[in-house]
A = this chain, B = another copy of it.
């Protein structure tokens, strides 16, 4: 565990900031704790500030009227969320919920704008952050709109297993992965089961081992495969 300043240094948004600037950020930020399952903000709430996740896990998501959920992104430690609405001066376009006991640093809107005005480094970091989000969203749109579920699952598994020796340790519930991939738990379950049966992967609970990465890659890019 780090002290707060050491933590801030590791946050993309506050990279390359001098000591006194970091201290100032800590002064104006407010620490809040949320329990597992607790709502941090709901779509439509006025956006009063931005959030930096100090510890825990958070998901940002959209809900339809009939209760279906689409996860927009999972926030990990050091991640920032709620920033878009703050810039636009509009209500939050999505909701955020703690997936486990979570501590966040909350920076009020006006204080955050002061920071931006006085420090071009933060502006540049923010631009990089937003660009990264946009790229992720482009990828998500592409995934949901142009790929079938088998392709989505293959792509996801390969992405997570990258540089990890073909081992995927799902750190989220499968139902939430389903929601992120734009599908439902039943369908995800069926796809994974089929992959196990055809020898593409091995699965023990939340631990998945990719046993045939080449074929999985072929499925991911949409080539017809005899394995499904």
Contacts and interface: CB of A to CB of B under 8 A. Distances in A.
A147 interface: yes
Given A66-B222, A70-B146, A146-B70, A138 B88 contact: no
A196 to B, nearest CB: 26
Interface of A is mostly: helix
Interface stretch (A8-16, A121-129, A169-177): A121-129
A225 interface: no
A132 B88 contact: yes
Given A65-B221, A87-B127, A116-B127, 16 more contacts: A62-B138, A62-B141, A65-B223, A70-B141, A70-B142, A70-B145, A72-B138, A72-B141, A84-B131, A84-B134, A87-B128, A120-B120, A127-B130, A137-B141, A141-B141, A145-B182
